[in-house]
Amino acid sequence: MVVKKAQKRPYFLKMLRKMNLSQHLLLSYYHSTIESVLTYGMLSCYASSSVVDKKALQRIIKIAQNVTGLQLPTLDDIFTSPCLRKSHNILRDSSHPAHNFFELLPSGRSYRTVKTLTTRLLNSSPA
């Protein structure tokens, strides 16, 4: 569903380029329409989406990149930046309910994984 919505947006980006808009305005349009459609629901379904779906979404980004003439972030970058930002916010806020899930290992370089009684959580996300 996200692919179908996102496939419609580059057409309007091409029309704006034909009207000789600046790269700054084209980039602004990309962020407000195409990237917002891509990030919609991405946190919940991106990790489990198929390679075919990821390639289709990356193709849309590549089309927008060719139209704007600017280097745009990849699909993985679009996905990881909100996740990292959210986890950094949780780490900074000690009153956050999920703050206790982030426990450093004795080495101090990486975090402990969530303890579960079954392997259901481990099997649910690709690693």
Residue 17 confidence (pLDDT): 94
Residue 40 confidence (pLDDT): 80
Higher pLDDT, 91 or 116: 91
What are the sequence ranges of the domains in the chain?
Answer: 1-127
Q: What is the pLDDT of residues 51-83, one digit of tens each?
A: 898 899 899 999 999 999 999 999 888 888 888
Look up residue 58 and give its two tokens. Answer: 């990356």
List Cα–Cα distances, 50 to 29, 55, 76, 107, 124, in angstroms: 27, 9, 14, 35, 14
Over residues 41-47, the mean pLDDT reads 72
Question: Mean pLDDT, the chain, as a whole number?
Answer: 86
Q: How far, in Å, CA of 51 to CA of 57, rounded?
A: 10
Tell me, yes or no, if the pTM score tops 0.75. no
Q: Residue 93 carries which side chain, given as an amino acid letter?
A: D
Phi/psi at 72 (5° precision): -105, 155
**Site of tokens 């496939």:** 7
